[in-house]
Amino acid sequence: MRWYYGIMRRPVLASLALLSTLSTLGVAGCGLISSDVAEIPFDLPERMYSFDSAMFPVPAGITAAVPCGAGTPITDCCNPPTGPIAGCMPPDVACEQNENGMSFCTATVPVSQSQTMNLGMEVSKLSGYTGFVNIKVKRISYVINTNTLNVNLPDVGLYLGPQGATKFDDAGVVQFGTLPAIPAGTTTTGDVMLVSNSSGVLAMFTSDIKKPFSFIAATTVKATQSPTGKIDLTIKGQLAISP
């Protein structure tokens, strides 16, 4: 009986070892592979956004940094002692402190750009899919290609919305992520800080893989004088589709 038990015990141990190895590799006992292996990765179609200073409607009269507030003759930036500034309207232009605690007349200028995206039409790997699909966000990154702006670019929000949406506050638009602020004149690369449910946000607009949606970049520029230059940036990334 001992001899018989020893013979039987070795195959059982070998089988258990094999199952452990398969489990480590992501292979289930019934022959199914793990969800990660089943995923089909693909690149997000790149989108380039250009924020040109010509887009920033800063009143022409604000041509240099103007101190304001206590201890200065200017308490109303749109109505200095020299006379009203054409096109200047509070609160778009107001006396604000900068990062150094000094107060200047500052224009607050919201800017946004919208582009249409259609994953089903633009990604060849998805051409055969129709109807509901499950798309996971793996990574979204950005590249600052050129930057000649003479002002800092604040955080840039990335938003997804229904086709035709052009601004972050349009109906149905949802935030997807954020690019960190870009100092004047600098170029860099990095990862977009995604919202916690970024895959869920994407799913809101890709349940019909052939339906286009809006991909929006928006920020609010703070300028103490009419800015010059422009910044070009590219958004790219990796996604994955699974059954």
- The string of DSSP letters for 69-90 reads STTSS-SSTTS-TT-PPTT--T
| Domain identity same for 145 and 193 | yes
Mean pLDDT score of the chain: 82
Same domain, 133 and 220: yes
Q: How confident is the model at residue 113 (pLDDT cuts 50, 70, 90)?
A: very high
- 87 in a structural domain: no
| Same domain assignment for residues 119 and 232 | yes
In a domain, residue 232? The reply is yes
- The one-character DSSP state at 191 is E
**The predicted structure's pLDDT at residue 19:** 40
Considering the domain architecture, whether residues 128 and 178 belong to the same structural domain is answered as yes
Sequence-separated contacts (24+) of 88-97 with Cβ below 8 Å:
88/59, 88/61, 88/62, 93/59, 93/62, 95/68, 95/69, 96/222
For residues 3 and 120, state if they share a domain. Answer: no
Q: Using DSSP bridges, classify how beta strands 156-162 and 213-223 pair: parallel, antiparallel or unpaired.
A: antiparallel
The CATH number of whichever domain residue 163 belongs to comes to 2.60.120
Q: Does residue 112 sit in the same domain as residue 229?
A: yes
Range in 66-80, 124-138, 181-195, 219-233 with the lowest mean pLDDT: 124-138
Say how many domains are in the chain.
Answer: 2
Same domain, 52 and 12: no
Domain that holds residue 10: 1-31
Q: Are residues 23 and 128 in the same domain?
A: no
pLDDT 10s digits, 49-90: 999 888 776 666 566 788 998 889 988 888 888 888 777 777
In terms of domains, do 189 and 236 share one?
yes
* Residues 228, 115 share a domain: yes
Residue 187 pLDDT more than 70? yes
Residue 66 lies inside a defined structural domain of this protein: no
Q: Give the contacts of 64 (CB within 8 A, at least 6 positions apart).
A: 225
Write down the pLDDT at residue 61.
58
Please tell me whether residues 124 and 170 are part of one structural domain: yes
pLDDT at position 210 is 86
Residue 27 has pLDDT above 70, yes or no: no
Q: Does some domain include residue 103? A: no
> Is 65 a domain residue?
no
Nearest CA to 49 out of 193, 181, 231 is that of 231
